């Protein structure tokens, strides 16, 4: 019984470290996330933090990114209405863009920072593969995935340009409609 309680405390501490890292990164960027700050924030020493994440900040960013892929996939799957065509594509595109706007630091860890994970290969983690398959399902891509890569690339570009203030926010609906018209089966 004591082992189970210890495991639960360890998992709660790990969860808290990731939570604080996400909050700090969202507020001040990933450069503000340090092992010293995280250790202070959870009330433990840095060796305790490294006990949970031996790879330090890089491992923490990877864990945040992998959680982000699971969250993004869930949000995109929930948007799928079960109807093929433009409505599903628009719903998934909007869910994707909303996620990027709502979670900028997580999105950055997922797609812009160097994390030790492979895309489009045998070693691709399941959450990444499932996310890609969700995008493929939205556009009806049953080929080799190239069309899904182009769709994903367009969404990623829009997300980054919106966040940088390079696209007019009031025209998002029209951009999404244009994108979905081009990818509708």
Q: What is the mean pLDDT of residues 152-173?
A: 96
Q: What is the CATH number of domain 57-183?
A: 1.10.357.10
Is a pLDDT exceeding 70 seen at residue 1?
no
Q: What confidence score (pLDDT) does residue 22 get?
A: 92
> Domain spanning 1-54 has what CATH number?
1.10.10
Q: What is the pLDDT of residues 119-162, one digit of tens each?
A: 777 888 888 899 999 999 999 999 999 999 999 999 999 999 99
For the chain, give every residue range classified as CATH 1.10.357.10: 57-183
Q: Where in the chain is the domain with CATH 1.10.10?
A: 1-54
Beta-sheet strands, E only, within 46-140: none
Q: Cα torsion at 128, 134, 135, 141 (round to 10°)?
A: 110
Q: What is the pLDDT of residues 64-122, one digit of tens each?
A: 999 999 999 999 999 988 766 899 999 999 999 999 999 999 999 999 988 878 777 78
Average pLDDT (48-62) is: 93
CA dist 22 and 59 (Å) reads: 13
């Amino acid at each position: 019984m004591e082992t189970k309680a210890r495991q639960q405390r360890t998992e709660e501490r790990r969860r808290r470290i990731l939570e604080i890292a996400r909050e700090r990164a969202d507020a001040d960027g990933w450069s503000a996330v340090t092992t010293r700050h995280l250790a202070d924030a959870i009330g433990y020493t840095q060796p305790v933090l490294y006990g949970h994440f031996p790879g330090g900040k890089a491992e923490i960013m990877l864990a945040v990114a992998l959680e982000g892929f699971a969250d993004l996939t869930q949000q995109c799957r929930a948007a799928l209405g079960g109807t093929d065509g433009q409505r599903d594509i628009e719903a998934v595109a909007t869910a994707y863009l909303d996620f990027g706007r709502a979670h900028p630091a997580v999105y950055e860890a997922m797609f812009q920072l160097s994390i030790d994970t492979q895309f489009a290969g045998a070693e691709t983690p399941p959450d990444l593969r499932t996310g890609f398959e969700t995008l493929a399902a939205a556009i009806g891509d049953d080929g080799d995935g190239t069309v899904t890569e182009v769709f994903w690339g367009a969404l990623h570009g829009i997300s980054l340009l919106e966040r940088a203030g390079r696209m007019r926010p009031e025209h998002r609906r029209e951009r999404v409609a244009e994108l979905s018209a081009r990818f509708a089966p």
